[in-house]
A and B are shown apart, each in its own frame.
Chain A
Amino acid sequence: MDQRLANYGSVVGDAVIDELRHLGERLAGKRVINVNSTRVGGGVAEILGRLVPLMREIGLEVRWEVIRGTEDFFILTKNLHNALHGASVAFGPAEREVFNEVTNHNLDTIDLQADVVFIHDPQPAGLIRARDQHGGKWIWRCHIDVSAPAAGAWEFVAPFVQHYDMSVFSAPQFARVLDIPQVLIAPSIDPLSDKNRELTQSEVEEALARLGVRSDKPIVTQISRFDRLKDPIGVLDAWRSARRRFDCQLILAGGAAVDDPESVQVLKEVRERADDDPDVHILDLPPTSNVEINAIQRASAVVIQKSLKEGFGLTVSEALWKKKPVIAGAVGGIPLQIKHKYSGILTHTVEGTAFWIKQLLSAPEFAHRLGENGHAHVMNNFLLTRHLRDYLLAFLFVADGNKDIIQL
Chain B
Amino acid sequence: MSADEREHSTRPFEFQSRLNLTLLTGIRAHDLAELVRHLKTAPGAVIYHHTHHFLVQHQFLSPEPPNDFAYWVTHILLEERLGEELAAIDILRFNTIRSLRDALVEVIDAHLDQTAELRTAPPGTEFHFMRSVSFVLPTGKRVGSLKEFHDALALVSLGSLAYHMFDARLRLENGDNDFSQWIEHELNQGQLAAELRALDPYTYTQEGLRRRIMIAIELRLGS
Q: Could you tell me which A residues sit within 8 Å of B by CB distance? A: 13, 15-16, 18-19, 22-23, 26, 169, 172-173, 175-178, 181-184, 330-331, 335, 339-340, 342-343, 372-373, 376-377, 380-381, 389-390, 393-394, 396-397, 403-408
Contact = CB atoms under 8 A, between A and B. Distances in A.
A19 B20 CA distance: 12
B59 to A, nearest CB: 6
Nearest to B48: A404
B222 interface: no
B23 interface: yes
Contacts of A16: 157
A342 B59 CA distance: 11
Contact of B128 (A172, A331, A339): A172
Contact of B59 (A173, A330, A376): A376
Interface string B130-151: 1111111111100000000000
Q: Which of B21, B23, B27 has the most CB of A within 10 A?
A: B21
Contacts of A335: 125
A394 B137 contact: no
B43 A404 contact: yes
B157 A176 contact: no
Contacts of B134: 404-406
22 contacts: A15-B17, A18-B139, A18-B157, A22-B137, A23-B135, A23-B137, A172-B130, A173-B128, A175-B26, A177-B27, A181-B23, A182-B23, A183-B21, A335-B125, A339-B58, A340-B75, A342-B58, A342-B60, A343-B60, A377-B57, A397-B21, A405-B136
B136 A408 contact: yes
Given A13-B157, A15-B157, A404 B59 contact: no
Give me the 8 closest cross-chain CB pairs, A-B, nearest first. Answer: A177-B26, A172-B128, A15-B157, A408-B137, A182-B24, A373-B60, A393-B21, A184-B22
Given A178-B26, A380-B56, A380-B57, A394 B130 contact: no
Interface string B47-58: 000000000111
Q: How large is the interface on B (under 10, 10 to 19, 20 to 34, 35 or more residues)?
A: 35 or more
A265 B123 CA distance: 31
A85 to B, nearest CB: 14
Interface string B91-131: 00000000000000000000000000000000011101011
A342 B21 CA distance: 25
Which of B24, B44, B156 has the most chain A CB atoms closer than 10 A to its own CB? B24
Contact of A339 (B19, B45, B61, B155): B61
Interface in B13-33: 17, 19, 21-27
A26 B17 CA distance: 15
A183 B26 contact: no
A393 B135 contact: yes
A175 B58 contact: no
Contacts of A342: 58, 60-61, 64
A396 B130 contact: no
Contacts of A394: 21
Contacts of A403: 133
A178 B23 CA distance: 12
Contact of B133 (A13, A18, A389, A397): A397
A85 B1 CA distance: 67
B135 A184 contact: no
B41 to A, nearest CB: 15
A389 B17 CA distance: 13
Contacts of B139: 15, 18
A406 B19 CA distance: 10
B160 to A, nearest CB: 8
B171 interface: yes
B159 interface: yes
Given A19-B19, A390-B21, A406 B133 contact: yes
Nearest to A390: B21
B57 A19 contact: no
Given A172-B128, A405-B134, A380 B23 contact: no
Interface string B72-87: 0001000000000000
Nearest to A186: B22
Contacts of A330: 124
Contacts of A405: 133-134, 136, 171-172
Contacts of B57: 377, 380-381
A184 B137 contact: no
Contacts of A19: 17, 19, 137, 157, 159
